[in-house]
């Protein structure tokens, strides 16, 4: 089926990133937006922008019916959901197809199977792929807590419909299990409208490794190698890289082919990511994200493949353009997520105006940004503002390139994590590739604001004073006694 125009049902950096590929392919790019995003870079870049409304700004982007209607009204052929919002909502995908439009993503039934954490685990285990020991509430709700206790501590509680770290809790004291189950269930209902849970054995100091897969409607599936996503805070990724510094070539082949095998068994179509917990040479299936990932640019950097372009081609019915043995990787890529947050205060989100924005450029440097100078950063949406991606011939060079790019990244007006990221990738642990999902929590000194010495403090205070209008005016004001002298000179 031919696609001539694509409506992007998202916002921020991912909306702009998708639109760039859409327009590079000569297609018409349309985007929906809430009033808060009326002057965003994505709406300015699109060929057409349609305002949508809701009880809250987020609710506007969750209104599937309004988005489908906007697509029909603007003559769009297809809808790309990006990530988050409705990207893994099978009902939305089904509504898009029912309206005679193309959903740029997996089939609705595939989203239902693999987007549900419990169903996905059962499917993967049933097909002989490795999963961590677990207890699933749906199997027998009455005995769920008792079955969880038999696994022994530590345990990781997860909402069945969850994602992005929401509702996840680690339990090391089994006396607190019932209380933590209640809290996780409450968060699952609040964030996803689904309180079902499952519990799995928590692997201490694990690595989080995921594999990018592509599948077409003709039964062809390939992997595009792995990404290391172990640098997390509050179960949310903050730094990703490809390839993983943990894997040798034999392990890489095994984990990547396992991911491709899961996708083949599911008859997977379009882009998806299979996530694993890895430690001591062993790995277990974690979940599958049936959408484009935030960190997809590192895969694009090492393979030279535009994942959004492949998504659009596959959704239009085309076959994959390459077999597995034609997929090559080159060099090393690192992505750093730029958040409006205060690392020193527990990574709490921050707000404020973007007074000055100057993005780094240069060889091997890419920035996917969703903000503009003069824009107000609010608490209405996720605090991620941009992504800095660097690519170099090896990991050490990529780290140095990332450090230099972070030093040139200027975003003033609201507090960001840029300085924290610079300190993080300069730690001995990161440089050595000794990563695990709890590493950031073990390095509180990296999150803390550095304390300036007395000389630095005086210089900073003097600089601030000399840039404060009231202080400058006072310093330059002529005292009244001298002013009364007029033009008299001695």
Convert the pLDDT of each residue in 133-185 to its tens digit: 888 888 889 999 999 999 999 999 988 876 667 788 999 999 999 999 999 99
Q: What is the CATH number for 194?
A: 3.30.1490.20
pLDDT at site 1 = 63
Distance in angstroms (rounded) separating the CA atoms of residues 181 and 136: 12
Residue 194 pLDDT more than 90? no
Q: Please say if the pLDDT value at position 118 is more than 90.
A: no
**How many angstroms separate the CA atoms of 335 and 435, rounded?**
15
For residue 476, name the pLDDT band (cuts at 50, 70, 90). Answer: confident
pLDDT in tens, 314-347: 999 999 999 999 999 999 999 999 999 999 999 9
**Domain match, 185 and 75 both:** no
Residue of 326, 222, 324, 302 whose CA lies nearest to 270: 222
- Measured CA to CA in angstroms, residue 454 lies from 17, 451, 458 at distances of 45, 9, 6
Predicted pLDDT of residue 204: 83
Angle, helices 395-408 vs 418-425, to 10°: value is: 160
Structurally, how many domains does the chain consist of? 3
- The more confident residue out of 462 and 215 is 215
Choose the final residue of a domain: 62, 89, 104: 104
Range of the domain at 68: 5-104
End-of-domain residue from the set 201, 223, 252: 201
Residue 40 to residue 23: CA distance in whole angstroms: 17
CATH code of 70's domain: 3.40.50.20
Residue 456 domain flag: no
Task: Give the residue from 173, 201, 229 where a domain finishes.
Answer: 201
In a domain, 490, yes or no: no
pLDDT for 489 beyond 70: no
73 in the same domain as 10: yes
Q: How far is CA 226 from CA 193, 332, 471, in A?
A: 32, 12, 55
Same domain, 232 and 174: no
Q: Looking at the domain assignment, is residue 452 inside a domain?
A: no
Q: Is residue 422 part of a domain?
A: yes
Same domain (yes/no): 235, 378: yes
Domain identity same for 230 and 373 = yes
Does 435 fall in a domain?
yes
Rounded distance between C-alpha atoms, residue 432 and residue 423, angstroms? 14
Percent of the chain with pLDDT over 90: 80
Kindly report the pTM of this predicted structure. 0.88
Q: Is residue 277 located within the same domain as residue 401? A: yes
At residue 89, φ and ψ (nearest 5 deg) are -100, 105
Using DSSP's 3-state secondary structure scheme, residue 353 falls into: strand
Residue 54 and residue 188 in one domain: no
pLDDT in tens, 29-59: 999 999 999 999 999 999 999 999 999 999 9
For the four alpha carbons of 110, 128, 168 and 226, in that order, the dihedral sign comes to negative
pLDDT of residue 164: 64
Classify residue 468: in a domain, yes or no: no
């Amino acid at each position: 089926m031919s696609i001539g125009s694509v409506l992007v049902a998202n916002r921020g950096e991912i909306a702009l990133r998708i639109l760039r590929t859409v327009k590079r392919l000569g297609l018409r790019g349309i985007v929906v937006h809430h009033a808060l995003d009326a002057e965003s870079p994505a709406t300015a870049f699109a060929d057409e922008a349609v305002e949508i409304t809701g009880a809250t700004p987020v609710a506007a982007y969750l209104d599937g019916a309004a988005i489908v209607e906007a697509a029909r009204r603007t003559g769009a052929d297809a809808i790309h959901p990006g990530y988050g919002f409705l990207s893994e909502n099978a009902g939305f995908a089904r509504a898009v197809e029912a309206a005679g439009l193309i959903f740029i993503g997996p089939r609705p039934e595939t989203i239902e199977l693999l987007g549900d954490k419990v169903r996905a685990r059962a499917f993967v285990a049933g097909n002989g792929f490795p999963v961590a020991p677990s207890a699933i509430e749906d199997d027998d709700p009455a005995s769920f807590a008792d079955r969880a206790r038999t696994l022994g501590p530590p345990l990781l509680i997860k909402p069945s419909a969850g994602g992005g770290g929401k509702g996840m809790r680690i339990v090391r004291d089994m006396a607190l299990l019932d209380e933590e189950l209640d809290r996780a269930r409450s968060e699952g209902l609040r964030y996803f409208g689904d309180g079902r849970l499952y519990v799995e054995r928590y692997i201490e100091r694990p690595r989080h490794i995921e594999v990018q897969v592509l599948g077409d409607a003709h039964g062809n599936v390939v992997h595009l190698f792995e990404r290391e996503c172990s640098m997390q805070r509050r179960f949310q990724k903050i730094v990703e890289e490809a390839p993983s510094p943990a894997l040798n070539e034999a392990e890489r082949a095994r984990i990547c082919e396992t991911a491709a095998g899961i996708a083949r068994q599911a008859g997977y179509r379009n882009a998806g990511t299979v996530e694993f917990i890895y430690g001591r040479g062993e790995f277990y299936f974690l979940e599958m994200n049936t959408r484009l990932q935030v960190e997809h640019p590192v895969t694009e950097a090492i393979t030279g493949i535009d994942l959004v372009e492949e998504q659009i081609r596959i959704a239009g019915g085309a076959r994959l353009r390459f077999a597995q043995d034609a997929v090559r990787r080159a060099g090393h890529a690192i992505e750093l997520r730029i958040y409006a947050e205060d690392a020193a205060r527990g990574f709490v989100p921050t707000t404020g105006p973007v007074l000055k924005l100057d993005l780094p450029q240069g060889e091997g440097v890419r920035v996917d940004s969703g903000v503009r100078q003069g824009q107000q950063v609010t608490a209405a949406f996720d605090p991620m503002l941009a992504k800095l991606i660097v690519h170099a011939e090896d990991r050490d060079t990529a780290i140095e390139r990332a450090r230099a790019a972070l030093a040139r990244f200027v975003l003033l007006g609201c507090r960001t994590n840029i300085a924290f990221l610079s300190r993080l990738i300069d730690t001995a642990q990161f440089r050595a590739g000794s990563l695990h999902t709890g590493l950031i929590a073990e390095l509180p000194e990296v999150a803390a604001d550095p304390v300036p010495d007395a000389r630095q403090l005086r210089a900073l205070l003097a600089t601030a004073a000399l840039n404060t209008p009231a202080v400058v005016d006072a310093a330059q004001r002529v005292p009244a006694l001298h002013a009364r002298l007029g033009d008299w000179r001695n």
